[in-house]
A and B are shown apart, each in its own frame.
Chain A
Amino acid sequence: MATGLRDKIEEVAGRYPNRRSAIMPALYLAQAEHAQLSGEVLLEVADILDVPEIWVYELATFYDMFHTEPVGTFHIQVCTNISCLLLEAEGIVAHLESRLGIERGDTTPDGLFTLSTAECLGSCDTAPVMQVNYAFHENLSERRIDEILENLRGAVGE
């Protein structure tokens, strides 16, 4: 593991009253570095922060935005909560499934896309909504999705 991560975590930990509080930001840093929080990475975080491993495991498995399983380069999360649902979010998911050739929860064989559904993303006024990594895409339609996927593939090609 890069010493860079250790330094970054140590720096963040200094801002918290105790080291347990720093687990969440430490996990974000570790995830940014490794894309996936494997058991090895979690043990390393516990080691850097000098906290019991179980504390790190509990947090990493509790929150959806920590990935203990591998995810693609682009993690697509489609909101299926009430406002989006009323505006055909299920159709959006089905369209993505057919375009990507995978089912929700899976990753494409090229490792580019992971498709999952999410609870309310807090953007009901622009429903239906999906989030690709940290970017929001609003007022979705099937045409719009095709464009987005094309752009994403293009971004990788460059």
Chain B
Amino acid sequence: MPKLTIDGKEIEVPGGLTVLQACELAGVEIPRFCYHERLSVAGNCRMCLVEMGQAPKPIASCAMPAGDGMVIRTDTPVVKKARQGVMEFLLINHPLDCPICDQGGECDLQDQAMAFGVDHSRYQENKRAVPEKYMGPLIKTIMTRCIHCTRCIRFATEIAGVEEMGALNRGGHVEITTLEKAIDSELSGNLIDVCPVGALTSRPYAFTARSWELRKTNSVDALDAVGSNIRVDARGREVMRVLPRLHEDVNEEWISDKTRYACDGLARQRLDRPYLRKDGRLRPVSWDEAFRAIAARLDGLDGGKIAALAGDLCDAESMLALKDLMAALGSPHLDCRQDGAKIGAKIGGAGPRAGYLFNTTIAGIERADAALLVGTNPRHEATLVNARLRKRFLMGGFRVGLIGAPCDLSYPVDTLGAGPETLSELAAGTGAFAEVLTAAERPMIVLGMAALARPDGAAVLHLARALAEKFGMIGEDWNGFNLLHGAAARVGGLDLGFLPGDGGRDRDGILDGVHGGDIEVVYLLGADEIDMARLGPNAQEGAFVIYQGHHGDAGAHRADVILPGAAYTEKNGTYVNTEGRVQLGRLAVSPPGEARADWTILRALSEVVGQRLPYDDLGALRQRLVAVNPVFAAVDRVEAAPWGEFGEQGKLDGAPFGVAVENYYMTDPISRASETMASCAEVFGSGRAGEATGTDG
């Protein structure tokens, strides 16, 4: 523990820190551009100069290890002059176009020029101009503003794991480039956050809003099951952008491109009023008429003929309200697994929580020393889990094996096989990777939905459970058994038991029931990913479909009644991420038109159908949530889930594991409505952009 004197104050800091970090601990702010705590040290901007003891000239504090007995001064005339000098050099070629720069108002260079620079320029010569570079549909470049801190290059190389960015030329001629290719990473949006100036900015957000006119709401993302912490920036009733919020245990300070850029989909294809199908066509109606149509259809209908499916973006509150309503109507036919994943017990609740959670936790990945991925592509299913796996790989001594469709995960992977037979062989202890798992102290297995959403899913789950026990993945302080979910609603739905009740049907049972005439009414709560054809062509030859959701997607097209709900940015809702972490999403803007928060719709409907739900406000509903499952009370806490029996011994299918996410940019009604995601799908979809080179055409 070195002891330093910083500005006359003694401070003891942990070993291995730099002088800059020590200064931060001492409460002294050091200006910087190239230094970033999650990237390697470059030491090229020189903004962090401080005076050190007897050193003849100022030192770069970001690159100097803090040593015992160092005397650091940050408040001397020498330091002030050094910073002003560096700032003057940085501004030589930086355009003074802040009024038309999107970074204006939230720019490190602007702020630090105010705090540490001088108030005038002595520079008379021409500034240099650099041509703009193409970096894909998400990132806009104005390279004249670049100060060559190389944060973007280091982010792309280290965190994202794509060797596509670099600096051409030398000295005053340096240009950052991707060689005119779109950056082939699902984390590329973070480049605009690490860029300290306005060189890399958001292309979809360009010239739309100023940072100071935005209303900022802390929330969580619902587009995948990571539960990334986000800040939703809104102006009026429109979400202008989504930014990451620091959460060390979940997303650190990054978010995936879908989380960041799908927000334009929130303003398109919206259901902003109730609809009722009359004479085969959907007509706008009043809430009252829509509710009365539902009540009329349910009147006298046996509860066993009603079923409900919950989609991937649902908050826990609305799922519980629907579950309670279905119970009141006498229906046991519920399912929140619209992909048909064979997780959770068959009847009566979800079984042991450890059987459907990412037990290792996302931060816990850093403690693992070997990983087996089964039927999953974490890069597409949970980008930030993949980023954590890569981070663990970079620490060294981490072997990753994959059973399933081969994919590029940005770190080396041993592809072991394609289907369940490889998993059985491994569970029997054969193969080279069995030795890796045996030698590992804290091995982990990650099961993707592609391994479980298939007829033999329960048997795969059972086998994986046996494998986890065989290789010592389950221990006192270590649980290496993980399910990687893709749907933000899934764990919440399992936790509150949005599953078939006694004698109830699961997804396939419900859909088959429609075909057989046993199910007459299907309530879709934001469920768009099921095969709508199985609901029959219309209410006469199939089920009467009630769709409650926010986008005019597959479910709404088939619906007989549409109840317009709220998207995740438009309601206060609880989400449980794949680790089992309960987090609260917050209302950032109100839902459009006549749309309402989802649980209130169900509460209102319950009264019309004569089964009034016993909660009148969100507080009461949340109390009910905690009563159903106490985990909902532990917000943002992850407690180790008890191990137990789950899965089902059975015959394994010979078919190889499929792919859970076919198109990363189009996974849900919001991203499918987003123009930005559509242009990404176009650039990255067929034949990744990285494969096209200058010699191809």
Contacts A61-B169, A62-B169; A54 near B695 (Cβ below 8 A) = no
Residue A43 at the B interface, CB < 8 A? yes
By the criterion of a CB under 8 Å from any partner CB, how many residues of chain B are at the interface? 14
* B residues at A contact (CB < 8 Å): 163-170, 177-179, 693-695
A52 touches B164 (CB 8 A): yes
Q: Residue on B with the closest CB to A40?
A: B695
- Cα distance A63–B168 when bound, in Å? 10
Q: Does A109 belong to the interface (CB within 8 Å)?
A: no
A39 within 8 A of B: yes
Report yes or no: A39 in contact with B694, Cβ–Cβ below 8 A. yes
Asked whether, in the complex, the Cβ of A55 is within 8 Å of the Cβ of B166, the reply is yes
16 contacts between A and B (CB under 8 A): A39-B694, A40-B694, A52-B163, A53-B693, A54-B165, A54-B166, A54-B177, A54-B179, A55-B166, A57-B177, A57-B179, A61-B168, A61-B169, A61-B170, A62-B168, A62-B170
Summed over the interface, the residue pairs from A and B with CB atoms below 8 Å come to a total of 33
Which chain A residues border B178 with CB–CB below 8 Å?
A: 54
Q: In the complex, A98→B695 CA distance in Å?
A: 40
Q: Given the interface contacts A54-B179, A62-B170, does A43 sit within 8 Å of B164 by beta carbon? A: no
Q: Determine whether the beta carbon of A54 is less than 8 Å from that of B170.
A: no
Q: Let me know if A58 is at the binding interface, CB within 8 A.
A: yes
Contact A43 B694 (CB under 8 A): yes
Contact of B168 with A58 in the complex, beta carbons under 8 Å: yes
B179 touches A53 (CB 8 A): yes
In Å, the complex CA distance between A43 and B695 comes to 8
Per-residue B-contact encoding for A56-76, CB less than 8 Å = 1, 0 else: 011001110000000000000
Main secondary structure of the interface of A (DSSP, over half): helix
Kindly state the interface size class of chain A when it binds its partner. 10 to 19
Q: CA separation between A113 and B695, bound complex, in Å?
A: 30
Give every chain B residue within 8 A of A57 (Cβ-Cβ): 166, 168, 177, 179
> Which residues does chain B contribute within 8 Å of A62, judged by CB atoms?
168-170
Interfacial chain B residues near A52, Cβ < 8 Å: 163-164
Q: Which 4 A-B pairs have the closest CB atoms?
A: A52-B163, A54-B166, A61-B168, A58-B166
Chain B neighbourhood of A61, CB < 8 A = 168-170
Give Cα A53–Cα B696 distance, bound, in whole angstroms: 14
- Would you give the shortest CB distance from B637 to chain A, in whole angstroms? 42
Q: Which of A43, A55, A58 contacts B693 (CB 8 A)?
A: A43
Q: Kindly identify, within residues 8 to 40 of chain A, every residue whose CB is under 8 Å from any CB belonging to chain B.
A: 39-40
Look across to chain B and name the residue whose beta carbon is closest to the beta carbon of A61.
B168
Chain B positions within 8 Å of A58 at CB level: 166-168
Q: Report the separation of the CA atoms of residues A151 and B397 in the bound assembly, to the nearest whole angstrom.
A: 62
**Known contacts A52-B164, A54-B166, A57-B179; 19 further A-B pairs (Cβ under 8 A):** A39-B694, A40-B695, A43-B693, A43-B694, A43-B695, A53-B179, A53-B693, A54-B163, A54-B164, A54-B165, A54-B178, A54-B179, A55-B163, A57-B166, A58-B166, A61-B168, A61-B170, A62-B168, A63-B170
Given the complex, which residues of A lie within 8 Å of B170, measured CB to CB? 61-63
A3–B543 Cα gap in the complex (Å)? 67
B-contacting residues, A94-111, CB 8 Å: none
Q: How far is the CA of A40 from the CA of B177 in the complex (A)?
A: 17
Across the two chains, which residue of chain B brings its CB closest to A46? B693
User: How near does chain A come to B158, taking the closest CB pair, in angstroms?
Assistant: 14
A123 and B332 alpha carbons, distance in the complex (Å) = 91
* Complex: A38 Cα to B532 Cα, angstroms: 55
Contacts of A43 in B (CB 8 A): 693-695
Q: How far is the CA of A53 from the CA of B690 in the complex (A)?
A: 11
Contacts of A54 in B (CB 8 A): 163-166, 177-179
- Chain B residue with the shortest CB-CB distance to A54: B166
Return the chain A residue nearest B171 by Cβ.
Answer: A62
Distance, CA A57 to CA B177, complexed state (A): 10
Determine the chain A residues whose CB is within 8 A of the CB of B179 once the complex forms. Answer: 53-54, 57
Bound complex: CA A52 to CA B179 (Å): 11
Q: Complex Cα distance A104/B177, Å? A: 28
Which residues from chain A contact B695 at a C-beta distance below 8 Å?
Answer: 40, 43
Question: What CA separation (Å) do A62 and B166 show in the bound complex?
Answer: 11
| Complex Cα–Cα for A61 and B164 (A) | 16
Note all chain A residues with C-beta closer than 8 A to B694: 39-40, 43
The docked-state distance in angstroms from the alpha carbon of A34 to that of B168 is: 21
In whole angstroms, what is the CA distance A62 to B173 when docked?
10
Shortest C-beta distance, B346 to chain A (Å), equals 50
How many Å from the CB of B525 to the closest CB on chain A?
46
Closest CB in chain B relative to A128 CB, distance in Å: 24
User: CA separation between A39 and B180, bound complex, in Å?
Assistant: 13
CA distance A61 to B168 in the complex (A): 6
Shortest CB distance A143–B (Å): 36
Contacts of B693 in A (CB 8 A): 43, 53
Q: CA A13 – CA B167 in complex, angstroms?
A: 24
